């Protein structure tokens, strides 16, 4: 059986997705639950890792199990029964034996939430408090520079040699108190969305210019964008296959 699982999680109390020593991670919690259900060690393959304190509305992972077949709906109910309060399993489906949650991904959508109005202590872990006037036309000009295929080495701390990625779109939604920055691309490097958002907010405050952003893309160097928006405002919104 090859299962594809969709789940949501509140990243506030997690040190990211990937298993690490002596810290709580989403992967470790998920694999412990699966081990209880299948009575064997299970390794899962995620669509893409999220960093510490980053949230997910619809993260996905896949895994294979030999000689044991559990119907997807039964597995979903079992996972929900075992899950802690900050993880919710949305759905489980069967897939082709060769399916892989990461390698079969077509694109992903992230959302970043900015609160530019009043500080809310109860939402401090779920949005960036940014009490600054939003220059939306300028942000849109800056966002256009990122769309398309670029070398995003300046916007990541990744150790990957290949840092070329394609951004399909960056959209903005704004109401009286919040700005939502929605980014879709074929893949994302470590801290890439947070550094793009950080650079756009620097642009908003005149700490960076449009020419600065162009230069960071044309002359890529690891982490040169420097500014990284806090993890609390970032959500993995959707993974498309």
Active-site positions?
A: 51
CA–CA dist 136, 128 (Å, integer): 17
CA–CA dist 42, 77 (Å, integer): 18
In the chain, at which residue ranges do the beta strands (DSSP E only) sit? 2-9, 45-46, 55-64, 87-94, 107-115, 128-129, 148-151, 164-174, 178-185, 234-240
CA–CA dist 194, 147 (Å, integer): 16
Q: Which two tokens stand for residue 72?
A: 């997807």
CA–CA dist 150, 12 (Å, integer): 31
Reduce the secondary structure of 80-118 to three states and give it as a string: HHHCCCCEEEEEEEECCCCCCCCCCCCEEEEEEEEECCC
């Amino acid at each position: 059986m090859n299962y594809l699982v969709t789940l949501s999680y509140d990243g506030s109390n997690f040190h990211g997705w990937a298993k690490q020593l002596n810290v709580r991670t989403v992967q470790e919690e998920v694999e412990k639950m699966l081990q209880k259900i299948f009575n064997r060690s299970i390794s899962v393959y995620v669509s893409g890792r999220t960093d510490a304190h980053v949230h997910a509305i619809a993260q996905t992972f896949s895994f294979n199990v030999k000689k044991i077949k559990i119907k997807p709906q039964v597995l979903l109910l079992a996972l929900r029964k075992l899950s802690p309060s900050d993880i919710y399993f949305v759905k489980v489906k069967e897939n082709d034996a060769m399916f892989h949650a990461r390698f079969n991904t077509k694109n992903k959508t992230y959302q970043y939430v900015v609160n530019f109005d009043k500080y809310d202590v109860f939402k401090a872990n779920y949005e960036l408090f940014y009490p600054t006037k939003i220059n939306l036309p300028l942000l849109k000009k800056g966002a256009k520079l990122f769309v398309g295929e670029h070398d995003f080495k300046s916007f990541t701390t990744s150790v990957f040699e290949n840092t070329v990625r394609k951004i399909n779109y960056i959209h903005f939604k704004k109401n009286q108190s919040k700005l939502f920055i929605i980014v879709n691309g074929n893949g994302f490097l470590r801290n890439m969305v947070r550094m793009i958002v950080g650079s756009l907010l620097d642009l908003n405050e005149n700490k960076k210019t449009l020419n600065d952003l162009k230069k960071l893309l044309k002359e890529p160097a690891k982490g040169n964008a420097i500014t990284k928006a806090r993890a609390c405002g970032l959500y993995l919104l959707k993974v498309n296959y």
